[in-house]
Amino acid sequence: MTQDRKLLAKVEDACIYEDQVVEFIKRMDPALLNQFKKTDGIAHVIGELVHQELLLLDAKKKHYDQEEDFKEALSLTKDNLLKSYAFSKTLEGIDVTEEEAREFFEENKNIFASKDSVNASHILLATEEEAKEIKDKLDQGEDFSELAKKHSTCPSKDNGGNLGTFQPGQMVKAFDEAVFSMEVGEISEPVKTEFGYHLIKLHSKNKGYQKKFEDVKDQCMQEALRLKQQKAYLERMEELKKEYTITYY
């Protein structure tokens, strides 16, 4: 048995129900949403829906629906709505099987492959001489993080020089080649780049791996469906181009 809708307000014979208020709130800008979740906020929403009903009553009373501007706007709205409906009809009934999703996975395994990555810190210095001096201090056992905070010219110095985790190609070439050839725990000799001289400390290496289909099945289903829908849409457009005359100016 369907539960009765909760009536919140009436404007003449027009009823405003709780589910209408909920739907109105759902369509609101997320940035404004929180202030309307409280009781007084909901009251404002109800008030706005009342205002809209008042405008509708007034528009009908003044026969705005008979004005040419309104008829033109209504026709345009109807056409746009019909376009959207026709688009949805074109894609109606299109679905994908697990086998099609698996086929997409096999053809696009590179998308689901995790690349090698490293976690490293660096100390960036203006000259090779400065870099060698700091390297000597590091060789004598001074703390890398503290030296980075004191001497590095890179903003990462605030974090002890830590650059986080990154993959090949995310750093400039010379830095990239150096860090991915290092051993965990190693501190490099000065590495020259366009930014200066780097002393690099490698914290960890993470080997890339190929994800399994079961781990990305949902993603594969969605992407396979998108491609299937796109194919159906383009095929339908080609059919319609043969049926109707198109002229470009």
Domain of 174, CATH number, reads 3.10.50.40
Mean pLDDT in residue range 177-203: 97
Where among 62, 78, 103 does a domain terminate?
62
Whether residue 221 lies inside any domain: the answer is no
Choose the final residue of a domain: 192, 209, 226. Answer: 209
Higher pLDDT, 29 or 164: 164
Number of domains observed in the structure of the chain: 2
Counting residues of the chain whose pLDDT is more than 90, the rounded percentage is 84
Q: Look at residue 2 in the predicted model and tell me its pLDDT.
A: 45
pLDDT of residue 142: 96
Question: Mean pLDDT over residues 124-140, rounded?
Answer: 97
Mean pLDDT score of the chain: 93
Q: Percent of the chain beyond pLDDT 70?
A: 97
Same structural domain, 124 and 204: yes
Q: Is 81 inside any structural domain?
A: no
Q: Are residues 121 and 198 both part of a single domain?
A: yes
Residue 1 pLDDT grade (very low, low, confident, very high; cuts 50, 70, 90): very low
- 8 and 21 in contact (C-beta within 8 Å)? yes
Please state the rounded mean pLDDT for residues 127-131.
96
Confidence category of residue 35, pLDDT binned at 50, 70, 90: low
Q: Yes or no: say if 209 and 114 are a contact pair by the CB < 8 Å rule.
A: yes
Domain's final residue, options 62, 83, 100: 62
Residue 224, domain member (yes or no): no
pLDDT computed for residue 37 by the predictor: 64
Whose tokens are 């791996």? That residue is: 209
Determine phi and psi for 68, rounding to 5 degrees. -65, -40
**One domain, residues 55 and 126:** no
Average pLDDT over residues 200-208: 95
Confidence of residue 42 (pLDDT cuts 50, 70, 90): confident
Q: How confident is the model at residue 190 (pLDDT cuts 50, 70, 90)?
A: very high
Q: What is the tens place of the pLDDT at every residue in 215-233?
A: 999 999 999 999 999 999 9
In this prediction, residue 38 has a pLDDT band, given cuts at 50, 70 and 90, of low
Query: For residue range 232-241, what is the model confidence (pLDDT) as tens digits?
Result: 999 999 999 9
Residues 52 and 120 occupy one common structural domain: no
In this prediction, residue 41 carries a pLDDT of: 78
Query: Do both 124 and 43 map to the same domain?
Result: no
Band of pLDDT at residue 45, cut at 50, 70 and 90: confident
Confirm whether 152 is domain-assigned: yes
**Distance of alpha carbon 81 from alpha carbon 203, whole angstroms:** 57
For the segment 85-104, the average pLDDT, to the nearest whole number, is 96
Q: Is the pLDDT score of 183 beyond 80?
A: yes
Average pLDDT (147-171) is: 96
Residue 10 included in any domain: yes
Strands 209-210 and 113-114: antiparallel
Residue 92 lies in a domain: no
Domain that holds residue 11: 1-62
pTM: 0.58
**The pLDDT value given to residue 22:** 86
Instruction: Supply the DSSP string of 121-147, one letter for each residue.
Output: EEEEESSHHHHHHHHHHHHTT--HHHH
Q: What is the mean pLDDT of residues 65-79?
A: 96
Domain annotation covers residue 99:
no
Q: Is 72 contained in some domain?
A: no
- Do the Cβ atoms of 178 and 160 come closer than 8 Å? no
